[in-house]
């Protein structure tokens, strides 16, 4: 299940393990396409927390991580930002990126 984050729960959500955060907006077409992909990753990839942040509702978090375009995905490991990538992409590309940090 993909967890929705805001200012009240963001820092604690990314604090432990590997977490991928999808920065999105409801009006964004490519973001809508990525919704089911992120749900699949959440269901299929073990040892990863999958979260999302609505940039319209939590623009403070988007600003903190310099999110200027959406969708933007940031992978965190134990609270540290380890990779950032932008744009819609196939599930396999995202899981390959995640696997580097799960196994590493």
Mean of all residue pLDDT scores within the chain: 96
Read off the pLDDT of residues 46-62 as tens digits, 9 standing for 90 and up.
999 999 999 999 999 99
One of 2, 17, 25, 28 is an active-site residue; which one? 28
Among 14, 31, 53, 98, which one carries the catalytic annotation?
A: 31
Q: Does the annotation count 31 as an active-site position?
A: yes
Res 36: pLDDT: 97
pLDDT above 90: residue 104 = no
Where residue 74 falls among pLDDT bands split at 50, 70, 90?
very high
Domain 3-94 CATH (choose: 1.20.1440.60, 3.40.50.620, 3.40.30.10, 3.40.630.10): 3.40.30.10
11-32: average pLDDT: 97
Mean pLDDT of 29-49: 96
Q: What's the confidence (pLDDT) of residue 86?
A: 97
Domain boundaries, the chain: 3-94
Give the mean model confidence (pLDDT) for residues 12-25. Answer: 98
What b/e sequence results for 51-60 when a residue is b if at least 16 CB atoms lie within 10 Å of its CB, and e otherwise?
bbbbbeebee
51 assigned to active site? no
What region, left, alpha or beta, does residue 17 occupy, with left being phi > 0 and alpha being psi -120 to 50 degrees? Answer: left
103 confidence band (pLDDT: 50, 70, 90): confident
């Amino acid at each position: 299940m993909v967890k929705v984050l805001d200012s009240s729960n963001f820092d604690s959500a990314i604090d432990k393990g590997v977490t991928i955060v999808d920065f999105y907006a409801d009006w964004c077409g490519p973001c809508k396409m990525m919704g089911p992909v992120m749900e699949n990753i959440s269901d299929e990839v073990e040892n990863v927390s999958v979260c999302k942040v609505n940039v319209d509702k939590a623009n403070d978090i988007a600003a903190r991580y310099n999110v200027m375009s959406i969708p933007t995905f940031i992978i965190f490991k134990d609270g540290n930002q380890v990779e950032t990538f932008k744009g819609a992409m196939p599930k396999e590309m995202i899981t390959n990126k995640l696997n580097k940090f799960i196994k590493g």
